Amino acid sequence: MSPQQNTQPRTVLVIGATGRTGRHVVDGLLAADVAVRALVRHPITAGLPAAVTVVEGTLQDPNAVRAAAAGADAAFLLWPVDDPTMIPEVIEALTESVRHVAYLSAADLSSASESTVQAGIWAEVERALEATASTWTFLRGGGFAANTLEWAEQIRSGDTAEVLHPDAGRSVVDERDLAEAAVRALLDPSLAGRAYSLTGPATLTQREQVATIGHVLDRDLTVANLDPDQVREEYAAMLGADFADMALSYWATLVENPEPVTTGIEEILGRSPRHYEDWVRLHRADFERLTTAEVGRRYAGAFRTGQLDDAAQLLAEDVVRIAPLEDGGIEREVRGLAAIAENADRQFETAELESVEVDDPLVAGDKFALRFTFGERDRETGTPLRTVKLSLCTVAASRIIREEVFYYLNP
């Protein structure tokens, strides 16, 4: 174990600041009067508080990580990418400057040990941090309550949620508790060199979790069994066959051997974790049925405040986007959230986004229109640019299923 910290950090770098947990970490550090720096892909749309120093870059770029870490005393880290090949180089770049890292890892709750890391990328990042001269605290989260948002679209459009192994028991944890634990780990030197498993206060079957959502919404919700073969195929396509087999095998064990409740949150924060029902009440809007007008207002508001995560939550998984002028005049569909994100990244390769203005939505039936004005700057020449577009969005089941984009062309 490396030597412990002796003083509270003056500046903390937050990697993952725009995520569900990271935003709470930022807020907690600012409340503690700590200077916060954030590494983000697109600074202008990050939607972080004005007090945060925003540094452009990605975790996959060691040089960007090194630049963001310069001058920081500590860092909050999560590793959201599947590729482990960059771990040693990125961790080396991070710890050249920071003397302490609070890493949001993942717990293996099948182990009899109080705190065991989940195999794979999480364990590899931990090993890389242990090999540095910096101190560390490993916050090994159990199942995230936020993962139950995968049922949101079904609950918005009907009264049944399709679930793999409805009677599998999980001790899901609120991201606010994870964030508070991270802030404490960043500020309290006594937590350096320690690892904690962090769960919620109770083990609930997935059937019970769906019933909790129904209670909050005042609706009678039921569950249906998902076909394991179908889930395996979907997981394998996204994350590989080995991960798919491991995940499905683990879920099956949770019927007879549900996840335990750990004491990690209580040890760090001196209080019990938040209950799942508290989390559902906070996220009630994600499960509620929304009108087209409400979707339009929330979509516009998300862009105005730079909360692109909130904007993405209003898009259906298989949303279709058509923007002929972005593809040489060809009216070709871009389908799915991942493809749309990749398309947006390509657009920002040559121009840096500096401002976004959004008009109020115009609504008719299942459609609404939004007018966007983007202020950009050419990355090579520094020339300011102005782009105006109209998005015509179609809504179903409280989510945008289609977006047709029309650009204003200067005469």
The whole-number pLDDT of residue 153 equals 83
What is the rounded distance in angstroms from the CA atom of residue 401 to the CA atom of residue 310? Answer: 16
What is the rounded distance in angstroms from the CA atom of residue 95 to the CA atom of residue 73? Answer: 10
The whole-number pLDDT of residue 347 equals 66
The whole-number pLDDT of residue 379 equals 84
Closest CA to 340 of 369, 372, 316: 316
Segment 218-251, tens digit of pLDDT: 999 999 998 888 888 887 777 678 777 877 888 8
Lookup: tokens for 112: 């009899």
What is the rounded distance in angstroms from the CA atom of residue 278 to the CA atom of residue 265? Answer: 16
The whole-number pLDDT of residue 31 equals 96
* pTM as predicted: 0.80
Closest CA to 140 of 99, 204, 199, 81: 199
The whole-number pLDDT of residue 3 equals 41
The whole-number pLDDT of residue 83 equals 76
* Cβ partners under 8 Å of residue 130, min gap 6: 136
What is the mean pLDDT, run by run of 10 residues, along the chain of 411 residues? 56 94 96 96 80 93 95 94 86 96 94 77 95 97 93 90 93 98 96 96 97 97 89 77 80 91 96 98 91 94 81 87 74 79 70 86 96 88 89 93 86 46
- Over the Cα atoms of the chain, what is R_g? 22
The whole-number pLDDT of residue 295 equals 95
Phi, psi (deg, nearest 5) at residue 307: -85, 75
Lookup: tokens for 221: 């919700």
